[in-house]
Structure 1
Amino acid sequence: MLRWGSVAAMLGVTAALLLGGCSETELVLNTGKVVTKPTQTPPAYKIGQPYQVEGVWYYPKVDYSYDETGIASWYGPDFNGKPTASGEIYDQNGLTAAHKSLPLPTIVQVTNLENGRSLKLRINDRGPFVNGRIIDVSRRAAQLLGFHQNGTAKVRVQVLADESMALAAALTGGSGVPSDQPQPAVPTAAPTTAVTSQALPSTTSSTASTVATAPAATSTTTSTAPAATRAVAAAQPDGRVTQTLVKPSGIFIQAGSFTQYANAQKLTTELSRMGAATMTPVKVGTQQFYRVRLGPIASVPEADRLLEKLVQSGHTEARIVVD
């Protein structure tokens, strides 16, 4: 992945603390990435090939229904001025973010579930590549959302479908996705396993030293300049922070969800040695699943510790969720 303030910005954060109800304001924002050579090419719409970071495969795809809760982190000075996965140069004072699989660019709404602050951001980078993090925002975004000092926050990330589709269309000459280059299939080089469990909706930064790209995938990158440049400028988030009401939420580790009750019960018993473990039946369409979670967990550091323990014990699909 690739990623990237000021005293005036901190004054804006202080002012935001006075917000309440449904008012809006304009406020005056650490993880790892892989650095590649900067490009001077016009903005491009990229879905991307499956890629591997530290032994884990990631599969970029279009998902306009994406709506996920989890833990956000931020990255700043160490990456400021370096290239992002989209080819742009990272600006830690910009309103951007990194995500592991959403197309570049995608417009998302990020809401801090701890204080109700909500902000539009543009995904232009890959990451974060640490278990338990779902998005890495710029330093300015972290300041505006109110977690710059803490480093992490419970968040909800939602793709803004209309804005993202309009941006994709502008960058691809109206097609949204290059018509002659359909979404690439999972390449044979990427490892696959039999499905014995399935993650349910409501699902995830350390420096990655290597990124391996699956060799069989077809690139889905399109650029139309200067229209592309104008489209990105028009889609740039304006920095308005909306104060919304948020209900109390807790941190959990979702260790898995199973179609077989016996498998879910076995994992629940195993997790009960680590803390409060629950098994909940959930239907996805017509399919019945049994979701196994550990929690609620008191803090992000504790959740990180437990998640690492689960992953090391073989539960590699476990993830931190907020509910």
Structure 2
Amino acid sequence: MYKRLSILILALFVLGACAETQLLVHTAKQIGRSTKSEPTQQGRYKIGNPYQIKGVWYYPAVDYGYNKTGIASWYGPGFHGKRTANGETYDQNALTAAHKTLPMPSIVQVTNLDNGRSIKVTVNDRGPYAYGRVIDMSRRGAQLLGFHRKGTARVRVTVLADESRMLAQQIKSGAVLAKIGTPIRRDIDVAKPGVASETLLPPQGAKKANRPTPRFTPRETVVASRQRVTDTPTAPNGIVSTGPVKPTNMFVQAGAFTRYDFANRTVARLSELGNVKITTVKIRGKEFYRVRAGPIGALENADHVLERIIRAGFSNARIVVD
């Protein structure tokens, strides 16, 4: 009798231990799964190495003077929730964009030359890799600029130098990068006193003094000895500014040369395209000779001309708008 009872108690103990072990294993799996699948929106500062797509080389670099025109496109549903080139989680409803060479992140002003609308966005991805596209906007960016349904627009892209520098410094210094499209916040440790406090009894005969009014930061802004500072200048805020709309023409630029004879040779090589001309422009005090085909009316025709010029050996050719 006692032997059977002992065996029964032992069996219950073993079963209980097994059940507890299974519970711990199950809990560990759940914790591991939730940790693994938890999305993170914090990216890193990245320039990257030169790379080649469809026979064209791209050279990422810091360029705070970047100011170019071209054709914008947009990307969204097929990439929503995936990683961008600098490690963030792509959000098609945020104010972001992809660019082929600018540092990530950078702050740029994108202006739709067709309707005058202009917004700030954060470059946090690489692309677009279609010939003749200067920037790939998020779906939300395309909506605000007014070309979501059309698919493309003539735009000007300008790097905001001060804000891009500030953003780069914040990330390099370990600042907390908030969700893209919202203000960047830094967590700054508030130093604690290094001397221990002690409550002392007042001396005999001393009068009780009135308690002074506390002078410290309101409770809402200091939590657990951490203070949050928001640098609003770096944050694309979704505000759409509108400027005047001027008539524009579309060209395909084969290149810009510092020597006229190089430009003239390029015109000769592309003579079969028809209307190819040399125009001069000063960029940062230096004179350049631009070789352009056009003007071209339809974007489809510009894409075709661009492809022919690239096949002729001018891999840096691009569509421009003036």
Gaps of at least 5 residues in structure 1 are: 1-36, 174-223
Helix, strand or coil: the match of 2:167?
helix
Q: Which has the higher contact order (CA 8 A, sep 6+)?
A: 1
Deviation, 1:52, is 3.1
The answer as to whether partners of 2:99 and 2:136 remain within 8 angstroms in 1 is yes
Q: TM-score, length-normalised on structure 2?
A: 0.67
CA distance in 2, matches of 1:162, 1:55: 34
Helix, strand or coil: the match of 1:92?
coil
Deviation, 1:89, is 1.1
CA distance in 2, matches of 1:292, 1:283: 14
Helix, strand or coil: the match of 1:273?
helix
Within 5 Å, give how 1:265-284 maps onto structure 2.
Answer: 265-284=264-283
1:298 maps to 2:305: no
CA distance in 2, matches of 1:290, 1:119: 31
The answer as to whether partners of 2:41 and 2:178 remain within 8 angstroms in 1 is no
Point out the structure with the larger helix share. 2
Helix, strand or coil: the match of 1:72?
strand
1:111 maps to 2:111: yes
Identify if the C-alpha distance between structure 1 residues 267 and 123 changes in structure 2 by more than 3 Å, giving closer, same or farther.
same
| Partner of residue 76, structure 2 | 76
CA distance in 2, matches of 1:38, 1:132: 37
Q: TM-score, length-normalised on structure 1?
A: 0.67
Deviation, 1:281, is 3.2
Residue by residue over 1:146-196, the C-alpha shift from the partner in whole angstroms, topping out at 9 and shown as x without a partner, is 1111111110011111211111121122xxxxxxxxxxxxxxxxxxxxxxx
CA distance in 2, matches of 1:56, 1:70: 17
CA distance in 2, matches of 1:101, 1:122: 14
- Bigger mean CA offset, 125-134 vs 274-283: 274-283
Identify if the C-alpha distance between structure 1 residues 73 and 278 changes in structure 2 by more than 3 Å, giving closer, same or farther.
same
| Partner of residue 257, structure 1 | 256
Count residues in correspondence. 236
1:308 maps to 2:307: yes
| Partner of residue 125, structure 1 | 125
Deviation, 1:283, is 4.3
The answer as to whether partners of 1:38 and 1:89 remain within 8 angstroms in 2 is no
Deviation, 1:53, is 2.9
| Partner of residue 139, structure 1 | 139
Residue by residue over 1:36-94, the C-alpha shift from the partner in whole angstroms, topping out at 9 and shown as x without a partner, is x9974843222223333344332222111111111111001111111111211111111
The answer as to whether partners of 1:154 and 1:322 remain within 8 angstroms in 2 is yes
Identify if the C-alpha distance between structure 1 residues 152 and 41 changes in structure 2 by more than 3 Å, giving closer, same or farther.
closer
| Partner of residue 211, structure 1 | none
| Partner of residue 223, structure 2 | none
The answer as to whether partners of 2:41 and 2:89 remain within 8 angstroms in 1 is no
Letter in 1 for 2:128: P
CA distance in 2, matches of 1:38, 1:248: 48
Residue by residue over 1:214-273, the C-alpha shift from the partner in whole angstroms, topping out at 9 and shown as x without a partner, is xxxxxxxxxx15x34486365441111111113211110111233443442333244343
- Tell me how large the CA RMSD over aligned residues is: 2.4
The answer as to whether partners of 1:38 and 1:88 remain within 8 angstroms in 2 is no
The answer as to whether partners of 2:70 and 2:133 remain within 8 angstroms in 1 is yes
The answer as to whether partners of 2:252 and 2:293 remain within 8 angstroms in 1 is yes
CA distance in 1, matches of 2:144, 2:172: 31
CA distance in 1, matches of 2:242, 2:262: 42
Letter in 1 for 2:69: T
